[in-house]
Amino acid sequence: MVVVSRVTIIRGNGARVAVARRDHESRGQGQTTSEGCGQTVFTDDAGKGGIAAGGPGNSAESNRRSGGDLVQLITPGGDRVSNPEFDPWVQDVSDEQLAALYEDMVAIRRIDAEATALQRQGELALWPPLLGQEASQIGSARALRDDDFVFPSYRDNGVAYVRGVQPADIVKAWRGNALAGWDPYTVNVATQQIIIGAQSLHATGYAMGIQNDGADSVAVAYFGDGATSEGDVNEAMVFAASFQAPVVFICQNNHWAISEPVMLQSHIQIADRASGFGIPSMRVDGNDVLAVMAATRIAIDRARRGGGPTFIEAVTYRMGPHTTADDPTRYRDANELEDWAAKDPIERLKMLLERKGLLTDELEAAVGAKADAVAKELRAGTINMPEPQPLDVFKHVYSTPNSSLDRQQDHYARYLASFGDPAEAASEEGAR
């Protein structure tokens, strides 16, 4: 009989990565480990456990400091805790970089709040708030190289921001002024995917293309806990594992798939699902920007060296509604919201900066000014955004000329012209 369980490998460089372990009980064979691995950590169905006897960190104190089965480097109270497996991956993060991460998170929270206000004021058709997920997005995005390619979901606006997408472009599609807000190839970020989980397939296909090109860049797919129940995500992991594609799957487990709680769709930790595909996984505190960054760096490094895909579950919480069309008070307990508010990702980093003596009046003023500036830019860009013209619908449908589309465009242009003045025709058509 073959029993599959979750195993965490402590690699020679101190990284901890979970892999699938097979116990061949009838033949007494041991588990298979990857090249360069050291001690092995066996975990139970709940994801809890420790390093095999005799290994470093095999103590209750070690588990407590690392947050149990959840990797944590900054506590909700702002204390920096040691984790010998993950610390080496963020030891180069300077005080200045910590402050920059804080600024990033404050800025995207302000963008998020401004976009929500714009939607309430009728300037946007819809908006998917990211409130509470700032650390998951900033910590992972700041671990990437410029030539890595990101495949985001509709909520990953913080990732788009730090990759260089302009604030007004982030909301262009949500205003209905364009099918996509930016050129993916200028910032190496694909257009946001509305179809749940579909971007995981795109990322895997792109990663297989990277293999064919012989490059060492990495594809990264972002999705939520609900997407893990979609066929697209599961199919993507099958292909990624089969071809050992250089792709990282980042699941932001925000506990709610619209109104469906995560415990309903997954009776085990989501990270444990990856082992069924033969993909190493990690489960980190998604409200801890350093833990997320460390895990992403481990996964990226593994992919660059030909080690294949990795699955990261960043455990966070969606503090706002699914979208501005949602009312979470109909299905969510207020006490749950209060509990997670105490784990706020920005507040915990702010407290760490304060403990380190870095949270000066000058820093707070600079961060506040940056947040004000991006909010002002977003509002002005949204309100003054040029309206699309009727014939713009034919743009970017095909990459090369298409006679059938040209014929349709000609027919539509003559239809508009039948109303007389082209400007009036466009105005009348838009009113319809």
pLDDT at 14 over 60: no
Residue 204 has pLDDT above 50, yes or no: yes
- Domain identity same for 114 and 199: yes
pLDDT of residue 417: 94
Both tokens of 101, joined, read 């991460």
Residues 339 and 423 in one domain: no
Assigned domain for 288 exists? yes
Q: Are residues 351 and 252 in the same domain?
A: yes
Give SS3 for 84.
coil
DSSP letter at 90?
T
Q: Of 16, 40, 59, which one is at a domain's C-terminal end?
A: 59
Q: What is the CA radius of gyration of the chain?
A: 23
Query: Per-residue pLDDT for 24 more than 90?
Result: no
Choose from 49-63, 68-82, 241-255 the range with maximum mean pLDDT: 241-255
List, for residues 302-346, the tens digit of each pLDDT value.
999 999 999 999 999 999 999 999 999 999 999 999 999 999 999
**Domain match, 222 and 288 both:** yes
User: Over the stretch 336-386, which tens digit does the pLDDT of each residue have?
Assistant: 999 999 999 999 999 999 999 999 999 999 999 999 999 999 999 999 999
Is residue 129 located within the same domain as residue 18?
no
Tell me the DSSP string of 165-222: --HHHHTHHHHTS-S-SS-HHHHTBPPPB-STTHHHHHHHHHHHHHHHHT----EEEE
Same domain? 54 vs 152: no
What's the confidence (pLDDT) of residue 96? Answer: 97
Q: Is residue 184 domain-shared with residue 308, that is, in the same domain?
A: yes
Residue 151 resides in a domain:
yes
Mean pLDDT of 45-55: 33
Indicate the number of domains in the chain.
3
Give the range of the structural domain holding residue 196, as residue numbers without chain letter.
87-383
pLDDT at 69: 78
Q: Does position 214 have pLDDT exceeding 50, yes or no?
A: yes
Q: What is the pLDDT of residues 184-198, one digit of tens each?
A: 999 999 999 999 999
12 and 139 assigned to the same domain? no
Tell me, yes or no, whether 79 lies in a domain: no
Structural domain includes residue 350: yes
Confidence of residue 420 (pLDDT cuts 50, 70, 90): confident
Among the options 163, 273, 322, 379, which is catalytic? Answer: 322
How does residue 78 score in pLDDT terms, banded at 50, 70 and 90? very high
| Residue 64 within a domain | no
pLDDT digits (tens, 9 = 90+) for 87-128: 999 999 999 999 999 999 999 999 999 999 999 999 999 999
Confidence of residue 179 (pLDDT cuts 50, 70, 90): confident
Is residue 208 domain-shared with residue 321, that is, in the same domain? yes
Which of the residues 331, 355, 411, 415 is marked catalytic?
A: 331
Tokens 């996964």 belong to which residue? 299
Domain end call among 59, 76, 98: 59
CB atoms within 10 A of CB 143: 22
Predicted TM-score (pTM) of the model is 0.81
- Cβ atoms of 10 and 71 within 8 Å: the answer is no
| Residue range 124-147: mean pLDDT, rounded | 98
Q: Which pLDDT score, from 0 to 100, does residue 421 have? A: 65
Identify the CATH number of the domain in which residue 153 sits. Answer: 3.40.50.970
Task: Assess whether 322 carries a catalytic annotation.
Answer: yes
d(CA 60, CA 285): 19
Task: Identify the burial level of 241 via C-beta atoms within 10 angstroms of its C-beta, where 0-12 means exposed, 13-18 middle and 19 or more buried.
Answer: buried
Lowest-pLDDT range, 44-53, 65-74, 250-259, 310-319?
Answer: 44-53
Residue 325 and residue 407 share a domain: no
254 and 311 share one domain: yes
**Residue 260 included in any domain:** yes
Domain presence at residue 396 = yes
Question: Do the domain assignments include residue 232?
Answer: yes
Q: How many residues make up the chain in this entry?
A: 432
Contacts 24+ apart (CB under 8 A), 417-426: 425/390, 426/389, 426/390
Average pLDDT of every residue of the chain? 85
Shared domain for 399 and 378, answered yes or no, is no
Across the range 38-47, mean pLDDT stands at 31
